[in-house]
Amino acid sequence: MRKYLSLTRVLLKNSMGMMSDGKSKKTLNVILYGVLALCMIPLSFTLYMMFDTAIVQLQALQQEGAVLALGFHLSSLVTFLFSIFLIPSIFYFSKDSETLLSLPLPPQTILSAKFSVCLAYEYAFTLIVLAPLFIAYASNTVIGIPYVLLALVIFITLPIYPLVLSSIITMLLMRFVPFFKNRDRFNMIAGILSIVLAFSFSFAMNSGTISEDPNALITMLVAGHNSMISLFSKIFPAIPFAAEALIGSDVVQLALYILITCAALAVLVILGKWLYFKGAIGFSETKSSRKELSAKEFARVSRHSKVRTYLIKELRLLVRTPVYALNCIGMCLLMPIMLLVIFMTADADVLLQQLPDITPYLDGMLPYAVLVGMASGFLFSNLNMISSTAISREGSNLSFMKYIPMSLKQQLQAKVVSGILMSVISMLLTLLCVYFLLPIFPLTWYFAAAAASLITIVLGNYASLALDILHPKLVWEQEAAAVKQNMSGIVSMLASMALCVLFCIVLFILPDDFLLLTTAGMVIAGIVIDVVFYMRLDRFAQKRFDQL
């Protein structure tokens, strides 16, 4: 136990250090974490309203406990999906793995310590879901001290089971399928599978393909007494016991819940004793073909402008690095795919027939399309996190940008253009999906929205690049950390979502008399800010680069 605690403390300290860029002041890190917390407030409030409304509606049927079970299920699913990437990174692909394997430590000790580090990371995602859930339930029922204590116990233990499930799957793959021992290959396949699983779950929920007898569901709903809690026991069997324990302060149900969780941990430790070391030995990070160019290929080499060549280099790096391809390029396809899934799982023809003809009401309302376009532009500008991680992805090779015969302004232009280009592609694909799946607006509205979105796409990419220049994450062990553990990227994405929501609020509360003037002012302000970024960003970057 002493070795486990000491190793866990060291690994946690090392992991927390990896969340920093290694150079910035602590005050700046605290400010960024504060901004990140503020950006999470809208999401938490949305979850609270969703849980609160569901509890109020189901209280009359004595089924409010089903909302607790649903929240626990959602939290466990989020934990499982995120752990698909986290578990391999910490268990196998971190640089400390080779050092730990050479120490006189049993495999279960190393495995348990690394599992504890993963658990500490997952508490952040669990808090985002469970805090609104617990508050919503407490605001609609009478609670006491036992509720608070049980809620704390469930919060601490709920991520354990999905983490165990993900850990066992990962260990089995690493031990018996050598194909997955290549880090880039594993990250790519795991990312694709996680997206498929998420959309499959959404498709099953929306299309009603979950194999439950409708008559049995109706009987269960009418029966009351929180009988619908049992529906959430298929994937995560401990959830019904946790919900029952919290509802009635039932010690027996709590004991059963903890027993299942401890049994899962015991299975993980036993399997880890036999699987972990054999799976952790002999993995590789990447593979290069090292192709030798022939004389004919050298003869075909042509010269282009510096910015174009650097831009091609950036795009090739994004496409050829699996982590970047999945998390940056792949995000460009996320919104169109989501729209397609929604329309595939819903009865689109019936929906379109129910929508009224709004054409007569659109005269003089074109500024609304401009505002919607600007709002969506903020969203698309940082959804792919290309510009917001452009400097961080250089890592220890940042000095390359300082000594190559190319001005810093040209390099920054190439980097920001790569982000703008992918943002525009994502926006156009989404706009085409909306136009063909929901053709209720005139074609001019779509052109106006697309043109307006270009203003905020440029602005968002420049602003996120400036933030990454100010606070780059240059100290990382693997490429995934430069994207997924980068405060600049996370803050930029959440800030763009907040600005998108702000524009939508303005859209709804703005009086028609001020619509045209306000829209024109926003367009002019956006263009001016774009020009300022283009003219001044390199000067700011030069001062910052001198400090790095």
**Residue length of the chain:** 548
Q: Is the dihedral of CA 318, 319, 320, 326 positive or negative?
A: positive
Backbone angles phi, psi at 182, to 5 degrees: -85, 125
Task: Give the Cα separation of 91 and 173 in Å (integer).
Answer: 13
435, 355 in Cβ contact below 8 A? Answer: no
SS3 state of residue 142: coil
Task: Give the Cα separation of 370 and 507 in Å (integer).
Answer: 10
Task: Give the Cα separation of 430 and 424 in Å (integer).
Answer: 10
Q: Identify any residues that bridge with 284 across adjacent strands, giving them in sequence order.
A: 182
Read off the DSSP letter of residue 48: H
Distances (CA, A) of 370 to 70, 211, 222, 366, 480: 38, 45, 48, 7, 36
Q: What is the pLDDT of residue 211?
A: 45
Q: What is the pLDDT of residue 523?
A: 92
Task: Give the Cα separation of 528 and 89 in Å (integer).
Answer: 43
- What DSSP assignment string belongs to 345-394? HTTHHHHHHHS---GGG-TT-HHHHHHHHHHHHHHHHHHS-SGGGTTGGG
Q: Identify any residues that bridge with 182 across adjacent strands, giving them in sequence order.
A: 284
Distances (CA, A) of 284 to 103, 319, 353: 20, 20, 55
498, 39 in Cβ contact below 8 A? Answer: yes
Domain range annotation of the chain: 2-14+62-280, 306-545
CA diameter of the chain: 81
**Distance from chain centroid for Cα 158:** 20
State which H helix or E strand residue 501 sits in: helix 487-509
The single-letter code of the amino acid at 334 is L
SS3 state of residue 402: helix
- Cα torsion 380, 544, 530, 514 to 10°: value is 80
46, 54 in Cβ contact below 8 A? Answer: no
Task: Give the Cα separation of 64 and 70 in Å (integer).
Answer: 10
Read off the DSSP letter of residue 147: H
Read off the DSSP letter of residue 397: G
Task: Give the Cα separation of 175 and 355 in Å (integer).
Answer: 55
Q: What is the pLDDT of residue 18?
A: 54
Question: Which residues have a Cβ under 8 Å from the Cβ of 36 and sit 6 or more positions away?
Answer: 487, 490, 491, 494
170, 122 in Cβ contact below 8 A? Answer: no
381, 467 in Cβ contact below 8 A? Answer: no
Q: What is the pLDDT along the chain (548 residues), one digit of tens a residue?
A: 788 888 888 887 776 655 555 555 566 667 766 766 776 777 788 888 888 888 888 777 777 778 888 889 888 888 888 887 778 777 777 767 777 877 788 888 888 888 998 899 889 889 988 999 999 989 888 888 888 999 999 999 999 999 998 888 888 877 776 655 566 666 666 666 666 665 565 555 555 444 444 555 455 554 545 555 666 566 788 888 888 888 888 889 999 999 999 999 999 989 888 887 777 665 544 455 556 656 666 666 666 788 888 999 999 888 878 778 777 887 777 777 766 666 665 555 555 555 555 555 566 678 888 888 998 999 899 888 899 999 988 888 888 888 888 888 999 999 999 999 999 999 998 888 888 877 777 888 889 999 999 999 999 999 999 999 988 888 877 777 788 778 888 888 888 888 887 887 777 787 777 888 888 999 999 999 999 999 999 889 888 888 87
∠ at Cα 77 (201, 95), nearest 5°?
A: 120
Q: Which residues in 495-518 are b (16+ Cβ under 10 Å) and which e?
A: bbbbbbeebeebbeebeeeebeee
Backbone angles phi, psi at 177, to 5 degrees: -125, 90
Question: Which residues have a Cβ under 8 Å from the Cβ of 38 and sit 6 or more positions away?
Answer: none
End-to-end alpha carbon distance in the chain: 41
87, 163 in Cβ contact below 8 A? Answer: yes
What's the pTM?
0.66
The single-letter code of the amino acid at 15 is S
Which of 184, 179, 175 lies closest to 281, judged by CA? 175
Distances (CA, A) of 539 to 28, 67, 404, 535: 21, 53, 18, 8
Angle at which helices 515-545 and 366-383 pack, to 10 degrees? 20
243, 68 in Cβ contact below 8 A? Answer: yes
Looking up tokens 């399997």 gives: 271
On the CB side of 450, CA atoms within 13 Å amount to 16
